[in-house]
């Protein structure tokens, strides 16, 4: 039974690890909607 | 200054004063004003002759103004396409998705009731052959587990508001949806990697072949006991699943990326240009916001179709067919199962010495 589900757990854990890594990277790279579409730099 | 000259000076002074104060209209200005009133336009193209109703109607229809902030999309005060998007999403798309998911469940339940679980007719031999190696199983589950998370969080985004607030409360639903959104946008990267690895791993065995027609004409033997049309490593049904996942998953990935990075990917205008070559009359001039809205509609629609396809795949790979799950579980399938469902593949393995030839007749031969 253990080996029957082993590959499923490995794939799932890898997916979660990739998701966490991607989330951290996106959080650091992406300035966010607030910053990107801010009107703070308006020049009138 | 003489008396006449003095009277002339005072008269001129009065005329200037009268014109300045508006008591007497200036001859030239009067003529221009009269002309403007009769022709219906105002000098300088000012909006003075546009009624408020027309003015606001133009704004309501999405007329683009000019803004001085970096986000030029703000020049559109009211984006009417958003109404159509919401109407489509909450109307036909949600209804279609609900019906198709329900239909798949009903069809599978009927299939199970009428056909029963598809058994290995020769019985389990106890001998096994490797169907998928550890890397292939890893790729399968990487893609499958991420797809399940994407599907559940996506379905919550589309349907959750109709059901869950009443069951778990608005606050819990809001928290669930927030974290569901985070999970959706994060695990999407694992799904995209899985799709790419899956394509590389299995494309050579999923090229359509003439023998697939035999499988399709016999409906894979799914509806008739004792019928096992010939098949290589993957039968026509599995090839359909493969290409649906690769192409559908690829399209889901691209539309998802355009939603992850909004207004930065222009995909639909180009796609529509190509489709118009085949007689469609789709718009090819799209604003960044319209591009994003098309991406949202397509992403949701395609995801619902994909979920329906994958539900059927999960059924036939687990409950629906004896011995099928082992292929992605341990990777080892019973030889009799393999002979009944993938006889040509087993024959290839026997020829290459990767599987022992027991001398038993192959069901499809």
Domain boundaries, chain B: 3-75, 81-351
* Contact status of A40 with chain B (Cβ, < 8 Å): no
Return the structure tokens found at B291: 């591009």
How far is A19 from chain B, CA to nearest CA, in Å?
A: 4
Those residues whose C-beta lies under 8 Å from the C-beta of residue A42, and which sit 6 or more positions away, are B68, B69
Average pLDDT estimate for B34-55: 61
* Inter-chain residue contact B137 with A7, CB threshold 8 Å: yes
Please tell me the predicted confidence (pLDDT) of residue B36: 47
List, for residues B312-332, the tens digit of each pLDDT value: 999 999 999 999 999 999 999
What is the mean predicted confidence (pLDDT) over B239-245? 97
- Choose from A1-15, B261-275, B292-306 the range with maximum mean pLDDT: B292-306
The question of ipTM being above 0.95 is answered as no
Judge contact between B220 and B341, C-beta under 8 A.
Answer: no
Q: How close does chain A come to B263, measured CA to CA in Å? A: 11
Torsion from C-alpha of B328, B332, B336, B342, nearest 10 degrees: 50
Mean pLDDT of B340-352: 92
| CB–CB contact A15 B142 (8 Å) | yes
List CB contacts (< 8 A) between A23 and chain B. 182, 185-186
Domain B81-351: CATH architecture, name and number where available: Up-down Bundle (1.20)
Partner residue opposite B142 with nearest CB, options A11, A39, A43:
A11
SS3 content of chain A, % helix, strand, coil (to 5): 75, 0, 25
Q: Which pLDDT score is estimated for B19?
A: 46
- Kindly state the average pLDDT of the residues B269-292: 91
**Tens digits of per-residue pLDDT, B175-232?**
999 999 999 999 999 999 999 999 999 999 999 999 999 999 999 988 888 888 999 9
Q: Is the pLDDT of residue A27 over 60?
A: yes
Separation of alpha carbons B339 and B229, rounded Å: 11
Q: Does A31 reach chain B within 8 Å, measured CB to CB?
A: no
Is the confidence at residue B4, as pLDDT, over 90?
no
pLDDT greater than 90 at residue B341: yes
Query: Which residues of chain A neighbour B185 with C-beta distances below 8 Å?
Result: 23, 26
A14 with B70: Cβ contact below 8 A: no
**Whether the model pTM is above 0.90:** no
Q: How many CA atoms lie within 13 A of B32 on its CB side?
A: 8
């Amino acid at each position: 039974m253990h080996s029957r589900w082993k590959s499923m757990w490995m794939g799932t854990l890898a997916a979660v690890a990739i998701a966490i890594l991607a989330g951290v990277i996106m959080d650091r790279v992406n300035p966010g909607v607030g910053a990107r579409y801010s009107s703070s730099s308006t020049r009138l | 200054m003489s008396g006449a000259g003095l009277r002339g000076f005072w008269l001129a002074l009065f005329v200037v004063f009268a014109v300045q104060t508006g008591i007497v209209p200036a001859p030239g200005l009067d003529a221009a004003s009269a002309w403007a009133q009769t022709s219906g336009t105002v000098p300088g193209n000012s909006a003075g002759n546009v009624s408020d109703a027309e003015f606001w109607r133009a704004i309501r229809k999405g007329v683009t103004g000019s803004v001085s902030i970096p986000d030029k999309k703000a020049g559109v005060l009211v984006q009417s396409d958003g109404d159509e998007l919401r109407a489509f999403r909450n109307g036909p798309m949600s209804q279609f998705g609900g019906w198709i998911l329900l239909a798949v469940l009903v069809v599978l339940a009927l299939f199970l009731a009428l056909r029963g679980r598809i058994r290995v007719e020769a019985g389990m031999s106890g001998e096994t052959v490797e169907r998928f190696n550890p890397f292939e199983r890893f790729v399968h589950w990487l893609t499958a587990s991420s797809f399940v998370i994407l599907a559940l969080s996506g379905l919550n985004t589309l349907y959750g508001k109709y059901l869950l607030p009443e069951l778990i409360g608005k606050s819990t639903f809001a928290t669930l949806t927030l974290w569901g959104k985070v999970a959706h946008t994060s695990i999407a990267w694992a799904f995209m990697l899985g799709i790419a690895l899956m394509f590389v791993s299995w494309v050579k065995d999923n090229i359509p072949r003439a023998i697939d027609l035999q499988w399709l004409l016999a409906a894979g033997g799914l509806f008739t006991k004792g019928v096992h049309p010939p098949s290589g490593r993957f039968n026509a049904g599995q090839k359909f699943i493969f290409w649906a996942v690769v192409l559908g998953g690829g399209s889901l990935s691209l539309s998802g990326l355009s939603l992850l990075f909004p207004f930065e990917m222009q995909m639909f205008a180009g796609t529509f240009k190509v489709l118009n070559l085949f007689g469609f009359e789709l718009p090819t001039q799209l604003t960044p916001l319209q591009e994003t809205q098309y991406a949202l509609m397509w992403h949701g629609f395609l995801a619902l179709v994909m979920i329906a396809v994958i539900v059927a795949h999960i059924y036939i790979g687990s409950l629906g067919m004896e011995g099928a799950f082992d292929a992605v579980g341990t990777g080892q399938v019973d030889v009799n199962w393999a002979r009944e469902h993938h006889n040509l593949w087993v024959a290839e393995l026997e020829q290459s010495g990767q599987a022992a030839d027991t001398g038993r007749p192959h069901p499809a031969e």
